[in-house]
Amino acid sequence: MKMINLTINGSPVSVPEGTTILEAAKLVNVKIRTLCHLNLEGFGVVNQTASCRVCMVEVKNRPTLVPSCSEKVTEGMQVVTDSVRAMTGRRMAVELLLSNHPKECLTCPKNLDCELQSLAHELGVHEIQWEGYRMDYPKDTSSLAIVKDPNKCVMCRRCETMCNDVQTCHILSGQNRGFDAFVGPAFNLPMAETSCTYCGQCVAVCPTASLTEVNNTHKVWAALSDPNKHVVVQVAPAVRVAIGELFGMAPGTISTGQLATALRRMGFDAVFDTDFGADLTIMEEASEFVHRLTHNGTLPMLTSCCPAWVKFFEHQFPDMLDIPSTCKSPQIMLGAIAKSYYADKISVKPEDMVVVSVMPCLAKKAEAARPELTKDHNNNVDVVVTTREFGAMLHEMGMDFASLPESDFDSILGESTGASVIFGTTGGVIEAAIRTAYEWLTGETLEKVEFEQLRGLEGIRSAEVQINDRTIRIGIAHELGNARKLLEGIRSGEYQFDAIEIMACPGGCIGGGGQPYHHGDIEVIKKRQQAIYQEDRAKVIRKSHENPMIKKLYEEYLGEPYGEKAHELLHTHYVPRDRI
């Protein structure tokens, strides 16, 4: 590798050819602020449009300032980042961005979490010399998951990179020109009329409030203050390893116990765990897999827990709707059991019950309202809030989350195993399914429940597990672009798999669109994944079919896994959709 020698603020540094000034500066501890730049190393996500000009630096003998995020180093280059000229140039770039930006920071959903706002603060912008023409597009509130406010778009194109390059959904593109320019869908269509999967990765990387989640917190407060409603809450596995970040705890801190206490203090009548729904999903999904395997059914079978993935294959692969598992997702399964079995037990009518979910995900908001997932015109899940919204509610209450005492979820829909915890990470759902399918098919006890070959963060992974005399070929993908590659490979016959797990977000649910903002720091997602596996190891029971409460549910209510009652409550179907 050819090395290039240069100086940055007088300090000599030697870096491989092809390195940008920005990357080289990091090596000598020179901080250059960025806005449009995004590089999620290891996830194949790079946004390098150099459109914001916030990272401009001076290069000796160059007439103009250059954007350090895209400018490659050259031999003998002398870079100056801290001259008055460079600082003035950067400040002017931010001033220009602000000159036509709505100045409603105090009431903006991204207040104190906005990268443009922090830049203005850090670069010392105290007044804006110019007043630019302002766009006045209406907010797009058509979808149940994502709010699009074009007026706050700074054309950084990060959302486009996520939507087009990473997720290959191709919903978003730059529209119009000049002051009227923003990123939006084709034909000015409302988001709800496009093939958007609501994965929320655009929201996860938007530096401003141009893309945010639909805020449902008021619905939760309303339900909690209605004396005629029995309000039940469930929390997804990925929430417990991320929520702490919103309260100053280190990424990867497990706060399951505090979470249960916080929910109880908020006034929920029952505090349940989506992990129970995940164990239930495994009972059904593993049964379906065994059934397909032993009855010459369609293989591969695809997991169906991720609602963004479900919507993706409905839009993009409508000819392959027979391969996904018919299992509802854990959140919907838990809602369905809460409003049937649990409602019967406590003698509450399903229509007097409100099921609230705390999810790392935006697509779960839209999933909850899918018409085929209702029962007797009653949604299985009524309100979905994200990890971020839930954190905001705790802040509103003034709850000192980090110092809360720990407590357990309520019985019976609060009991869970290690298998269900790992649903929060890529590779986890299929590992949980294999733990159960293995024991069912062999009749033996699995000594080592960890399947290391299924773990990791590579975009597409494959592994083989020997069960009896059969080799089960497993495929795993996270990010929808990788899912597309896998599915196209199956369609063309290039890939041969028996079971496939797909999650839409980088790293799985731990990197979900509703999680605390990572602001481009990929280490955060890795720490959350480690925490998920740590939580699994700490569980006494680590196989879904050994969950005593799951056994009880089948004995008392559901009958056989994959049986008639289970089908009625826990399985669904898919619809082909258009691609726009």
Partner 1 sequence: MSKAQARARTISVPDLPQDLFDTLGAYIASLDDPKGSLIHVLHRAQQLFGYLPMEVQLFVARQVGVSGAEVFGVISFYSYFTTTPRGKHNVSVCMGTACFVRGSDKLLDRFKEELQVTTGETTKDQQFTLSDVRCLGACGLAPIVTVDDKVFGHAKPEDVEAILKPYRAGSEA
Q: Which residues are catalytic?
A: 285, 288, 305, 325, 364, 367, 372, 509
Residue 171 makes contact with partner 1 by CB under 8 A: yes
Residue 137 makes contact with partner 1 by CB under 8 A: yes
**C-beta of 186 vs 224, nearer to partner 1:** 186
Q: Which of 63, 187, 493, 555 binds partner 1 (CB under 8 A)?
A: 187
Residue 155 makes contact with partner 1 by CB under 8 A: no
Residue 189 makes contact with partner 1 by CB under 8 A: yes
Q: Which stretch binds partner 1 (CB under 8 A): 73-81, 91-99, 163-171, 299-307?
A: 163-171
Q: Where in 80-119 is the site for partner 1 (CB under 8 A)? A: none
Compute how many other C-beta atoms are within 10 angstroms of the C-beta atom of residue 379. Answer: 19
Q: Where in 358-377 is the site for partner 1 (CB under 8 A)? A: none
Residue 175 makes contact with partner 1 by CB under 8 A: yes
Query: For residue 355, which phi and psi values (nearest 5 degrees)?
Result: -100, 120
Tokens 């009652």 label which residue?
A: 565
- CA-angle at 137, arms to 132 and 138, nearest 5°: 140
Q: Which of 48, 100, 141, 164 binds partner 1 (CB under 8 A)?
A: 164
Residue 580 makes contact with partner 1 by CB under 8 A: yes
Among 303, 314, 325, CA closest to 502: 303
Compute how many other C-beta atoms are within 10 angstroms of the C-beta atom of residue 273. Answer: 28
Query: For residue 35, which phi and psi values (nearest 5 degrees)?
Result: -130, -60
**C-beta of 175 vs 215, nearer to partner 1:** 175
Residue 170 makes contact with partner 1 by CB under 8 A: yes
- CA-angle at 520, arms to 390 and 162, nearest 5°: 90
Asked if 483 and 333 count as a contact pair (C-beta separation under 8 A), the reply is: no
Residue 177 makes contact with partner 1 by CB under 8 A: yes
Distance CA 237, CA 33 (A): 34
**C-beta of 186 vs 249, nearer to partner 1:** 186
**C-beta of 155 vs 249, nearer to partner 1:** 155
Residue 185 makes contact with partner 1 by CB under 8 A: yes
Q: Which stretch binds partner 1 (CB under 8 A): 1-9, 171-179, 412-420, 461-469?
A: 171-179
Q: Which of 188, 298, 442, 471 binds partner 1 (CB under 8 A)?
A: 188
Shortest distance, position 335 Cβ to partner 1, whole Å: 34
Size of the site for partner 1 (CB under 8 A): 19
Q: Which stretch binds partner 1 (CB under 8 A): 54-62, 180-188, 227-235, 558-566?
A: 180-188
Distance CA 154, CA 177 (A): 12
Shortest distance, position 576 Cβ to partner 1, whole Å: 17
**C-beta of 210 vs 258, nearer to partner 1:** 210
| DSSP single-letter state for residue 557 | I
Q: Which of 42, 44, 102, 174 binds partner 1 (CB under 8 A)?
A: 174
Shortest distance, position 331 Cβ to partner 1, whole Å: 30
Distance CA 533, CA 409 (A): 20
Q: What is residue 315's three-state secondary structure?
A: helix
**C-beta of 199 vs 476, nearer to partner 1:** 199
SS3 string, 66-108, reads EECCCCECCCCCEEECCCHHHHHHHHHHHHHHHHCCCCCHHHC
Among 21, 5, 19, 97, CA closest to 58: 21
Shortest distance, position 196 Cβ to partner 1, whole Å: 11
**C-beta of 174 vs 456, nearer to partner 1:** 174
**C-beta of 83 vs 173, nearer to partner 1:** 173
- x-or-dash string of contact with partner 1, 7-46, rule CB under 8 A: ----------------------------------------
Q: Which stretch binds partner 1 (CB under 8 A): 10-18, 183-191, 292-300, 488-496?
A: 183-191
Distance CA 93, CA 98 (A): 9
Residue 184 makes contact with partner 1 by CB under 8 A: yes
Q: Each residue of 189-217: b (16+ CB within 10 Å) or e?
A: eebeebbbbbbbbbbbbbbbbbbbbbebe
Q: What is residue 289's three-state secondary structure?
A: helix
Shortest distance, position 171 Cβ to partner 1, whole Å: 6
**C-beta of 182 vs 272, nearer to partner 1:** 182
Compute how many other C-beta atoms are within 10 angstroms of the C-beta atom of residue 414. Answer: 20
Residue 337 makes contact with partner 1 by CB under 8 A: no
Q: Where are the beta strands (DSSP E) in 242-398?
A: 270-273, 301-302, 353-359, 374-375, 378-379, 383-386
Handedness of CA 537, 539, 544, 546 (dihedral sign): positive
Q: Which residues bind partner 1 (CB under 8 A)?
A: 137, 164, 170-177, 180, 184-190, 580
